[in-house]
Amino acid sequence: MRSHCALYVDAGYLLAAAATRVTGTSLRGSVVISYPDLVRRLIDQAEDLSGLPLLRLNWYDSGNRPGGAPDSSQESIGMLPRVKLRLGRTSPHGEQKGVDLRIGLDLAAHGRNHVVDVMYLVSGDDDLSEAVEEAQNHGAQVVILAVPDPSGRPHAVSNHLIREADGLELVDAATIDETVRVRQLQPDVVGGPASETTGVVVPLPGPRQTAEAPAAPAPEHGRSGTSHESPKPTPAILAHSRPQSTGGAGNGNSSTGSGSKVAWSSSRDHPVNRPHTLSPAMIEMIDDVCRGVVSAWRATASKEDRRRVISERPFIPSDLDRTLLTDLSARLAVYDIPDELRYRLREQFWDAMDEVGR
């Protein structure tokens, strides 16, 4: 049987890491992507690194339409040669469901069935470590292919995952820099970009504006928490869910998503009402994260988007809340952000909105 390599692309990781490299924040809606060029370059690099022809690129993401169905961009990706679209679904609170499980099952099954000899995993998720070991037990090599941050270090890859893998390689920086660009929106456009237009197949013309982002150390435990007494926390769980609105401005379709998270509580014992004990450096980091997210969001938001977000204050739209948590988590190299930091983060989000977001 002829030897092959294969790519296993965690789209959530790839696009968030690419957006961070380009804009300084992980907000996926802040960039547009030439997917044919991105896929072709990833395939070329895998074949060059392994010296083997590529069998297939497996693209894992959550379907952006009801029931986990692909949106127009995902359908276009699935039509590309040698690309297999593997979709999970999105919960009502905007969480990915089933994506990591699909990646893990495919790694284990392909290793067990000797489908390929070398697997390139584009992800940083510690939860995939056991699947990597399972594939290795059946004779496959598994190499992490990580997105480089602006300083040339692997972005947000678990140290444990790196230890379990057979090697770590970086996606060619030019692959990201030449296929991912800052999204541009005319200020008089009404209605922000829909969720399914997070990426498009043709990049915007002209020079790309880049935003330098501080390098973050690789997290020791990836996205997973260290406690075994409760399920792994997710950004939506950490944020606390807001009761669903039955009408009003918050129900329209926009780039801000359909769910929001409350940023305060009237309880005296609630962390937001306790005296802050954060260092000036931590407060400055949180402020930098908030300003980066607000600036990236504002660059793509229409007047209607901005009006809608302000009208729902103090509730933060789910996609923005997840981006805040993800970016701060990357800066701190931890996943389970303490309550005091989370509430300070949300307070300073509104401070940033007041200053630069309206």
Residues 55, 177 within the same domain? yes
* 107 in the same domain as 56: yes
* Domain annotation covers residue 171: yes
- 72 phi/psi in degrees, rounded to 5: -65, -40
pLDDT over 80 at 345, yes or no:
yes
Question: 214-247: per-residue pLDDT in tens?
Answer: 444 444 444 443 333 434 444 333 333 333 333 3
Mind spelling out the 3-state secondary structure of the chain? CCCCEEEEEEHHHHHHHHHHHHHCCCCHHHEEECHHHHHHHHHHHHHHHHCCCEEEEEEEEECCEHHHECCHHHHHHHCCCCEEEEEEEECCCCCEECHHHHHHHHHHHHHHCCCCCEEEEECCCHHHHHHHHHHHHCCCEEEEEECECCCCCECCCCHHHHHHCCEEEECCHHHHHHHEEECCCCCCCCCCCCHHHCCCCCCCCCCCCCCCCCCCCCCCCCCCCCCCCCCCCCHHHHHCCCCCCCCCHHHCCCCCCCCEECCCCCCCCCHHHCCCCCCHHHHHHHHHHHHHHHHHHHHHCCHHHHHHHHHCCCCEEHHHHHHHHHHHHHHHCCCCCCHHHHHHHHHHHHHHHHHHHC
What's residue 96's pLDDT? 75
Residue 204 has pLDDT above 50, yes or no: no
At 223, which amino acid appears?
R
| End position of a domain, from candidates 197, 221, 253 | 197
Mean pLDDT value across the chain: 78
pTM of the model: 0.70
| CATH number, position 26 | 3.40.50.1010
pLDDT score for 91: 74
pLDDT by residue (tens digit) across 115-150? 999 999 999 999 999 999 999 999 999 999 999 999
Same domain, 175 and 270: no
pLDDT digits (tens, 9 = 90+) for 5-45: 999 999 999 999 999 999 989 888 889 999 999 999 999 99
Do 132 and 271 have their domain in common? no
Choose the most confident range, by mean pLDDT, from 74-88, 199-213, 238-252: 74-88
CA distances from 222 to 128, 156, 162, 191, 330 (A): 10, 7, 10, 36, 10
Residues 15 and 161 in one domain: yes
Q: State the sign of the Cα–Cα–Cα–Cα dihedral 121, 65, 255, 347.
A: negative
* Pair 263, 131 in one domain: no
- 106, amino acid identity: D
Pull the structure tokens for residue 172.
């060619």
Burial 278-305 (b: 16+ CB within 10 A, else e): eeeebeebbbbbbbbbbbbbbbbbbeeb
Instruction: Say which residue, 80 or 321, is predicted with more confidence.
Output: 80
Read off the pLDDT of residues 35-76 as tens digits, 9 standing for 90 and up.
999 999 999 999 999 999 999 999 999 887 877 889 899 999
Percent of the chain with pLDDT over 90: 45
Bridge-partner residues for 83, per DSSP? 57
Domain boundary among the residues 176, 197, 218 is at 197
- Angle (deg, nearest 10), helices 129-137 and 99-112: 10
What's the whole-number mean pLDDT along residues 295-312? 86
Tell me: pLDDT of 198 over 60: no
> Confidence band (pLDDT; 50, 70, 90) for 335?
low
With respect to residue 110, please indicate whether it lies within any of the assigned structural domains. Answer: yes
Residues 262 and 318 in one domain: yes
Nearest to 158 by CA among 224, 83, 239: 224
Q: How far is CA 286 from CA 187, 327, 357, in A?
A: 28, 9, 16
Question: Which has more confidence, 358 or 317?
Answer: 317
**Domain shared by 184 and 45, yes or no:** yes
pLDDT band at 276 (very low <50, low <70, confident <90, very high): low
Number of separate domains in the chain: 2
pLDDT score, position 2: 67
